[in-house]
Structure 1
Amino acid sequence: MSKLQKNERWKSKMLLTEHQEQYENRGGRTSKGRITPEELTMVRDSIMYPHMLTMCDKSLQEIRRTPNLFKRYFEQFLQLLMDRLSKEMFVLRRELRGRNIKVFEDETLDGIIYHRFSCRGYEDRFAIVRETLRSEIGVRLAKYCADILHPPLKEAQPDPGSGS
């Protein structure tokens, strides 16, 4: 018989409510490796970013081939856009890796793009219709372009010389 079995304090199985909540939250996230809706959105984005970069690169190559007065500015704008997309894709992939989620390219059938993913031991397929992907890419690229052309204003800082 061990010392712990002799000790009466170890016989009770009382659990504080905050510990119960922590245990339930931990179990809810990783139960059986099922993917959460947030993580499913991350999988969709990880599929979408390479397509967005490919579209931008094709546009960049096309601009480089055509004579245009503003060619240099279009190239700079597209390069800035591609840099932002690459950074976000890198951050997203790191987050997926941290959550033990891997995405694999699978196949395309009848306008539906399939990708397999593995989430904490659980494997499944993610399917997205090509037209849905195109429209989502269009919306997302418009947002990125708007952010580049009209960056969000930072909060007004008090003027150090105003004395207030």
Structure 2
Amino acid sequence: MSKLDENERWKSKMVMTEHVEQYEQKQEDEVRKLITIDERTMVRDLILLPYIDTMVSKSLKEIEHSSNILKRAYLMAGQTIQRRIMQDTYQLQKELKQRNIRVLADEQEEFLVYYKIFCRGYQERFGLTRDVIRSEISLRLTKYTAEVGELLKNNSKKD
């Protein structure tokens, strides 16, 4: 309860509709400037993709030095996954740039990795735990591997 509520003079005052519309428009503009759930997911994926690429690169180096008879097939599959990761990274960067969102690494603590998100004039701190990063990487690698498997199935059906 404010002092104006107690004051009888203010009860008879009217607000012009154009002022109400301006106020509502300003509120809507403020909400539009905040980051949405979809954009937050895109930021998370953009953060995770370099980690996934690093893991795939390490695996490819290990495979190159192995004497496995399927070495060539594994390398081709790994390189296909890497190309897909690069495509996804490029698409996310392009989409976030169009939406006027930038992501910068901030700091790392023992179990948390922080990033700064600059979104349409606002700044936000975004943190991911290492456990979340691991589980999301596992899910993403499973998805990429399934895509390669589908490509192989489709190619073998054509033959």
Distance 1:146 1:129 in 2: 26
Aligned residues: 133
Residues 10-59 of structure 1 deviation map (CA, whole Å, 9 limit, x = unaligned):
xxx7xxxxxx9xx97xx747636211111111110110111110110010
Q: Does structure 2 retain, via aligned residues, the 8 Å contact 1:30–1:120?
A: no
Inter-partner Cα distance in structure 2 for 1:92 and 1:29: 24
Q: How far apart, CA to CA, are the structure 2 residues paired with 1:138 and 1:104? A: 23
Q: Secondary structure at the match of 2:124?
A: strand
In terms of fraction of residues, the more helix-rich structure is 2
Aligned equivalent of 2:65: 65
CA deviation after TM superposition for structure 1 residue 62, in Å: 0.9
Alignment correspondent of 2:112 = 112
CA distance in 2, matches of 1:30, 1:41: 21
For 2:93 and 2:141, locate their aligned partners in 1 and report how far apart those are by CA, in whole Å: 19
- Alpha carbons 1:29, 1:36 under 8 Å: kept: no
For residues 49 and 29 of structure 1, what CA distance do their matches in structure 2 show? 32
Per-residue CA shift, 1:103-130, capped at 9, x if unaligned?
0011110111111110001001110101
Paired residue type of 2:64: R
Seq. identity, %: 37
Which residue of 2 is the match for residue 158 of structure 1?
none
Query: 2:42 corresponds to which letter in structure 1?
Result: M
Give the TM-score normalised by structure 2.
Answer: 0.75
- Structure 1 stretches of 4+ moved >6 Å: none
1:94 counterpart = 2:106 = no
Give the structure 2 partner of residue 75 of structure 1: 75
How has the CA–CA distance of structure 1 residues 41 and 29 changed in structure 2, closer, same or farther, with 3 Å as cutoff?
farther
Matches within 5 A, 1:30-69: 31=31, 33-69=33-69
The two structures have a TM-score, normalised by structure 1, of: 0.73
How big is the alpha-carbon RMSD for the aligned residues of Structure 1 and Structure 2?
A: 2.6
